[in-house]
A and B are shown apart, each in its own frame.
Chain A
Amino acid sequence: MLTEKTHPEKIILISYIIVVGFLILLMRLWQLQILQGEEYRKIAESNRLRIIGVPAPRGIIFDRNGIPLVKNAPYFCASLIPGEFNAASVPSLARVLNMPEEELARKIQKKGLSPFSPVRVKEGLSFKEVSFIEARRSDFPGLIMEIEVSRDYIYGGTGAHVVGYLGKLSPGQSKDPEFRDVPPEAFIGQWGIEKLYDKKLRGIAGQRMIEVDALGRELRLIKENPPVKGEDLSLSIDIALQNEAEKAFDGRTGALVALQPDTGEILGLVSSPSFNPNMFATGISNADWASLSQDKKLPMLNRAVQSQYPPGSTFKIVMAIAALEEGVLNDSTTVDCRGGISYGKWSFGCWRKTGHNTVSLHRALVESCDVYFYEAGKRLGIDRIHDYATRFGLGMETGIQLAAEKKGLIPNSRWKMEAKKSPWYLGETFVNSIGQGYVSTTPLQMAVMMSAVSSGGNIFKPLILKDSKPELIKNAGVKPGTLDIVKDYLRGVVNEPGGTGWIAKSAVTTIGGKTGTAQVVGIRRDSKFLAEQFRDHAWFVAFAPVEKPEIAMAVLVEHGGHGGSAAAPIAKKAIEAYMLSAEKKKELLNVQN
């Protein structure tokens, strides 16, 4: 090696060294392309291809006249692909998204996720926010915009307890096999019809396989699996009736249920106060949820099926039918009302302290004489009262699927023995005969009873979809003649002089009905002088037209005072709205939009 000149041999040695280096490169190339080639090809594909879920449009919910109650609305979300995002730009991205830095950083750092699956960082963006972010998206590789389908509830809180609302899958639901095909970030029905018929409304989400560059920009559509729209639903609800009824409640708490007597279809179902389902549709904020759930008026409670009240004088309809059927009295039997009766050391008053003098069943219903029904109750006995109330569906579930319903209570002597460990007293019969005491019902039950009275005693399961097959649960099994007599007297309640329901008298149709004023506390005093929470509940049950009933309903206004003045006007407005022609209904609703 100690040479003066560069020997050719040395150059040959150098070339050997180079050939060895070349072979090392070639082996490495072989290793990457041949031995691990398939693996790398998969990585390259997953780099390039992205599968994006395309939410299916939900089925539209219509009212019984084909008026849409909901619209599908896009719900914009910003997502990040952590593997493509530069963590150093968290502060600037937080500014663009208008959210706290810590929150953004926390969302990105969720463990256990593939670095290439998008993480939601902000949801429910407005159009303005979307365009603001879109303009700056190229500064943030890995930032993508996603769209979900949400709802716009056209009539807001109107019918909210029926229609319901959408929400995110809860942690419990995401484990439920029923929601296996639902993308984790999608909205599903969480209340009302949206929940009950979620599977039908949901549709099938589609997929788009797209080619993207390193910045996540869409380059080309590779494959598309279009979404399948959910099934449309037509509710039995009449939105015009619903709307008029809710307006008539005017913020008072209470409930209304209207049924079609021949089918059991629910024409209207009000629980007041309502809530705005649009709050849920855009992802409800914690503050909104807190104010809803802590509201003393319990807007989330469906009072029509989940609250039970003493039926008050509306119970006299059942009493009258029972008395006539059992023959303990007939339509000419009279009772002398002196403003109350005495039984042992107790006295039971009539609501009119001056008394009704000599009253027949006809006038007893029209004027709602309590003393007459004390007598009827005394002659029937509590067990026969219980029998007839039960025949008309009181004290039991109606079978409505919309929400978990309450059963109410119709007492008898056996129940008293089991529950209170004491025998039944006649005094209790008096109290229960006028719908006070132990007896309690839901507004829905009272509507079912009214419906059965108006349609030959048929008890139908309340249905919420239009044109469903009617489900007859049973027939009350009373003589049609009896029902005709009672219906005629109920017509008198509204249409005859001195009738307690005179406010409901309508020029559009003949309404029959019965008022009820259910005591909240045991003091008989004029409600005007009581604090609101001690005032009586106001009831009105009605049906129309009397000649050939098309609608039967029950209205309850909590602490509303007299049934005749508080509840009857609501029933009248709802019935009149229902009787309008389809065109008129649309006109009425369009004006409000």
Chain B
Amino acid sequence: MFRIDRRLIQNFDWITFATIICIALIGIMSIFSATRSPAESVQSPLFMKQVIWLFIGLAGLAVVMSFDYIWLSRISIPLFTMGVILLVIVLFAGKTGMGAQRWLSLGPVVFQPSEFFKLIFIIMVAHYLAYLRGPIDMSMMLRLFFVFVFFPFILLFKQPDLGTAVVIMVIFFSMLLSRGLHRRVIVLLVLLGIVSLPFVGNIMWTGLKDYQKNRLIAFLDPEADPSGIGYHINQSKVAIGSGEFLGKGFLKGTQGPFRFLPERHTEFIFSVFAEEWGFVGSAFLMSLYLLLIMRGLDTARKAKDEFGRMLALGITFMFCVYFFVNVGMTLGIMPVVGIPLPFMSYGGTALLSNFISAGVLINIRTRRFTLFY
């Protein structure tokens, strides 16, 4: 199973691979620029860490490539169980940072189980949907929801990692929709959504932490208080807007390194890039993401089986949601929910998890011919 097949190289998805490497390198470059110290010549070590994580990510990708993705279907149930257990452990023994409890220490390594949980969750849902026959009716949908979504959602919400919690919900429904739902179920879901919105909104609102509430208020009216909660969004718009057509040039941006822009190397890395590379650079970067997503959808279309199709769709949806919410946030057209930009934002666990996810995508495409062995 670990031998390298000639066809494995021949059919390897070089386009997806090249795209993510490209984005990751742009990301490292932007982290370097964002965290450079404007006064002293001493450079922040963050970008070097990200370089190391890039190599770890490549290793992870290679490992995922080495076996047929069908194996993921076979181990999906123990994998999912383990993922939920990790989330429970994080809740009780996790490290706290920035008002949230998301990190888990394993010796010297600190990682965020929720980053891996997304992929595990997609594998689990894809596995189950692949074995379902016929359109999904109401009772089936509810069963699926309670078995796969409900508990992880509660656990993530409690951390709190609102971003990931909402993302798995969105991925879940997107996957169900793509798989096919009874029209009645769709209508019912829409109606239910509209009716329950105020109640859910209220419950969610009271359950939110102060910083999360502030972010939502700021989204609705960023100009209300330029130094307060709307500050992030305004400074991000200033950074992006001031890049104009061609940008200020590499290492010429001021909003990030001078710390006007908060979370400059994580959530707002796109703003740092857009300031220095302008409309031309930003449009190019966004096109890379569009290419990654389109390629993922194409992989889903060409997958040899229903599991591969659902898995590819799930992973692509994940990238898609992250990309739109993050970039939309930096552009001031989405609320600040604090989710990173895949392959770009600083963060080791996220980079590794994204490379592994992309590895699964490449795996599905590379092994798209039924008669592989």
Contacts and interface: CB of A to CB of B under 8 A. Distances in A.
Nearest to B234: A43
A2 interface: yes
Interface residues of B, number: 53
Contacts of B286: 22, 25-26, 29
A152 B178 CA distance: 82
A11 B241 contact: no
B178 A25 contact: no
B87 interface: no
A32 B331 contact: yes
B238 interface: yes
Contact of B180 (A2, A37, A82, A211): A2
A581 interface: no
Interface in B230-260: 235, 237-245, 254-255, 257-260
Contacts of B243: 33, 37
Contact of A6 (B179, B254, B279, B332): B179
Given A15-B294, A44-B238, A115-B226, A220 B180 contact: no
Interface string A507-546: 0000000000000000000000000000000000000000
Q: What's the dominant secondary structure at chain B's contact region?
A: helix
A11 B301 contact: yes
A86 B225 CA distance: 12
Q: Which of the listed residues A29, A33, A214 has the most CB atoms from chain B within 10 Å of its own CB?
A: A33
B324 A21 contact: yes
B39 A47 contact: no
A591 interface: no
B290 interface: yes
B310 interface: yes
Contact of B259 (A39, A82, A213): A213
Contacts of A39: 241
A220 B313 CA distance: 50
Interface string A216-246: 0101100000000000000000000000000
A84 interface: yes
Contacts of B258: 47-48, 211-214, 219
A483 B196 CA distance: 113
Interface in A110-144: 115
A356 B333 CA distance: 108
Contact of B245 (A8, A15, A37, A43): A37
B102 interface: no
Given A6-B178, A37-B242, A15 B297 contact: yes
B244 A47 contact: no
B365 interface: no
Contact of A32 (B181, B240, B257, B301): B240
B297 A44 contact: no
A220 B180 CA distance: 61
Nearest to A8: B301
Contacts of B327: 25
A1 B183 contact: yes
A25 B135 contact: no
B274 A29 contact: yes
B36 to A, nearest CB: 12
B4 to A, nearest CB: 30
B209 to A, nearest CB: 17
A14 interface: yes
Contact of A2 (B182, B238, B275, B301): B182
A40 B237 contact: yes
A18 interface: yes
B183 A2 contact: yes
A83 interface: yes
Nearest to A37: B244
B242 A40 contact: yes
A550 B325 CA distance: 91
Contact of A43 (B242, B257, B293, B301): B242
A213 B38 contact: yes
A32 B279 CA distance: 9
Contacts of B134: 4
Interface in A9-52: 10-12, 14-15, 18-19, 21-22, 24-26, 28-30, 32-34, 36-41, 43-45, 47-48
Nearest to A14: B297
Contacts of B244: 33-34, 37-38, 41
Contacts of B226: 83, 115
Interface in B263-302: 274-275, 278-279, 282-283, 286, 290, 293-294, 297, 300-301
A296 interface: no
B239 A44 contact: yes
A2 B259 contact: no
Given A25-B324, A29-B283, A217-B39, A41 B242 contact: yes
Given A6-B180, A214-B260, A37 B300 contact: no
Nearest to B303: A6
A47 B255 contact: yes
Contact of B313 (A6, A28, A43): A6
Interface in B315-357: 320, 324, 327-328, 331-333
Q: Which of the listed residues B227, B239, B241, B254 has the most CB atoms from chain A within 10 Å of its own CB?
A: B241
A47 B260 contact: yes
A590 interface: no
A22 B300 CA distance: 20
Contact of A28 (B181, B239, B309, B333): B333
A10 B297 CA distance: 10
A33 B247 CA distance: 9
B306 interface: yes
Interface of B: 38-39, 133-135, 178-183, 226-227, 235, 237-245, 254-255, 257-260, 274-275, 278-279, 282-283, 286, 290, 293-294, 297, 300-301, 306, 309-310, 313, 320, 324, 327-328, 331-333
13 contacts: A3-B180, A5-B180, A22-B286, A25-B333, A33-B278, A34-B244, A34-B279, A36-B241, A40-B240, A44-B275, A47-B238, A212-B258, A213-B260
Closest 9 CB pairs of A and B: A40-B241, A37-B244, A44-B242, A214-B259, A213-B258, A41-B242, A32-B241, A33-B279, A40-B242
Given A28-B333, A33-B244, 19 more contacts: A2-B182, A4-B134, A4-B180, A12-B301, A21-B324, A28-B331, A29-B286, A32-B331, A33-B243, A33-B282, A37-B241, A40-B237, A43-B238, A44-B239, A44-B254, A44-B260, A45-B242, A82-B227, A115-B226
Interface of A: 1-6, 8, 10-12, 14-15, 18-19, 21-22, 24-26, 28-30, 32-34, 36-41, 43-45, 47-48, 82-86, 115, 211-215, 217, 219-220
